Chain A
C-alpha cells in the first residue's frame, strides 16, 4: 500500500466524518464551515492524485469564495435552521438509492491511472504528445482547456456570466435603495485593518501571477479571477463596501463582466475573420504556435475578468441585501 493510497483514504474518511457532522448540524453557519472543510479536503485529494489545476480551483472556489458567499447569504437568511425536525424518511431513502447506484457504478470504472481506460484512448494521447508543441503552452491542462476545448470553456464562462446576471436580477431592487447609513463601515479593529492593508496587495499580486503563469504552471483565469475577487472582498470586509465601491463602482464591474465574455467571443470571431475556424487561434499570428499562445493568453484573460467581476458583484449584492434593511 503506497503512501498516496493511505493519504487518500485518510482524507476520504475525514470528508465522510465532516459530511456526517454536517448532516447532523442544526447550526447553518457550522454547516457552511463544514462544507468548506469538505471542499478543502477534496482539494487535498486532487493534489495527491496529481490534478493540481483541479485542486487549485476546488480550493479557491469551493473552500474559498463559495464559503464566503454562503456566509454572506446566511447574513440575510439567519443562522438557524427552521424549528422542528424535517421529515427524514423519504430524503434518506433517495440518498441511499442514489449513493447505492453511484457505488454500483464505480465497479465499472477503470482503475485509477489506467492507460488503457477509454478516456485515455481517443484524443488524450494526441494532447499529451503534441499539446506543448502545437500550442506553445507547457501546461497541458491550460492547452486543453483554453485551446483544444476552447469552445467548452467559452460555454463555462457564459454559464458564470449568466449566473451572475441571475443573482443580480433576483436581488436587484430589493434592499438596494435601503438606508445608506446602515451600509457597513467594515471592521474598526486596528490589527485587522493593518494586516489586511499589508495583505491585500500580495493577494492581488498572487492572482496576477496565477493568471499569467497559467501557461507554465497550475492556474489560469478561473483561479486567478476568484483569488483577485477574494482580495477585493477581504478589502470590503475590513474597510466597508462603500470604500470598495469607490475603487470599483458597480457599473464598472458590470462592464468588466461583459468585457470578459466579449473578449473570449471576440477572439473566436477574430479567428473567423482571419480565415480560420471559431476559436482556432493558429490563424491569429504569422506563426501557428505564436497564434495559439496569443489566443490562449487572451481567452484566459477574458475568463479572469468575468469570474472576478461576477464574484465581486454577487458578494456586493448579498452584502447590500443584509444592510439594506429588507429582513
Chain B
C-alpha cells in the first residue's frame, strides 16, 4: 500500500475518532434532548462513517472492503432513521425544544 493511501486512511480514522469523541462530549454537555440527539446522530453517521472509510482504505480492493462498504451503507440508513424516530417520539410526548428562553438548563 502506498504511503499516501495509508496516510489518508489514518487521517480518516483519526478524524472519525475525534467526531465520535465530540459526539459523546455533546451528548453529555448539550442542554436538552434534541441537541443531545443531534450530537449522538453525528457519532452514528460521520464518526462511524469516517472510521469505516479509513478501514476500507486500509483493506484495499478486497472482500473486506466490500463488506465494510455494506456496513457503512447500513449505518447511514439505520442511524438517521433511529434519530428521526427518537426525535419524533419525544415530540409526540410533548417535549419542547430548549430555546434558551428560560434558564440555562432544562
What B residues does A191 contact at CB under 8 A?
A: 81, 84
* Contact (Cβ within 8 A) A195 B77: yes
A189 at the interface (CB under 8 A from B): yes
What B residues does A189 contact at CB under 8 A?
A: 84-85, 88
B78 at the interface (CB under 8 A from A): yes
Nearest CB on A from B92, distance (A): 10
Binary contact track A194-235/B, C-beta < 8 Å → 1, others 0? 010011000000000000000000000000000000000000
* Contact (Cβ within 8 A) B85 A199: no
Q: How far is it, in angstroms, between the C-alpha of A189 and the C-alpha of B83 when the chains are bound?
A: 13
Q: How far is it, in angstroms, between the C-alpha of A147 and the C-alpha of B101 when the chains are bound?
A: 68
Identify whether the interface residues of B are mostly helix, strand, loop, or mixed. helix
* Contact (Cβ within 8 A) B77 A192: no
What A residues does B88 contact at CB under 8 A?
A: 189
Q: How far is it, in angstroms, between the C-alpha of A198 and the C-alpha of B73 when the chains are bound?
A: 12
The closest CB in chain B to the CB of A194 belongs to B81
What A residues does B84 contact at CB under 8 A?
A: 189, 191-192
The closest CB in chain B to the CB of A202 belongs to B74
* Contact (Cβ within 8 A) B85 A192: yes
Nearest CB on A from B20, distance (A): 15
Q: How far is it, in angstroms, between the C-alpha of A164 and the C-alpha of B81 when the chains are bound?
A: 32
Binary contact track A164-192/B, C-beta < 8 Å → 1, others 0? 00000000000000000000000001011
Nearest CB on A from B4, distance (A): 26
Which chain B residues numbered 56 to 85 have a C-beta less than 8 Å away from chain A? 77-78, 81, 84-85
Nearest CB on B from A189, distance (A): 6
Q: How far is it, in angstroms, between the C-alpha of A199 and the C-alpha of B88 when the chains are bound?
A: 20
Nearest CB on B from A71, distance (A): 13
What B residues does A192 contact at CB under 8 A?
A: 81, 84-85
User: What are 8 A-B residue pairs whose CB atoms fall within 8 Å in the complex?
Assistant: A189-B84, A189-B88, A191-B81, A192-B85, A195-B77, A195-B78, A198-B77, A199-B77
Going nearest first, the 10 A-B pairs with the smallest beta carbon separation are A195-B81, A191-B84, A195-B77, A192-B85, A191-B81, A189-B88, A192-B81, A199-B77, A189-B85, A199-B78
A residues apposed to B, CB below 8 Å: 189, 191-192, 195, 198-199
- Beyond A189-B85, A191-B81, A192-B81, 11 additional contacts (C-beta under 8 Å) are A189-B84, A189-B88, A191-B84, A192-B84, A192-B85, A195-B77, A195-B78, A195-B81, A198-B77, A199-B77, A199-B78
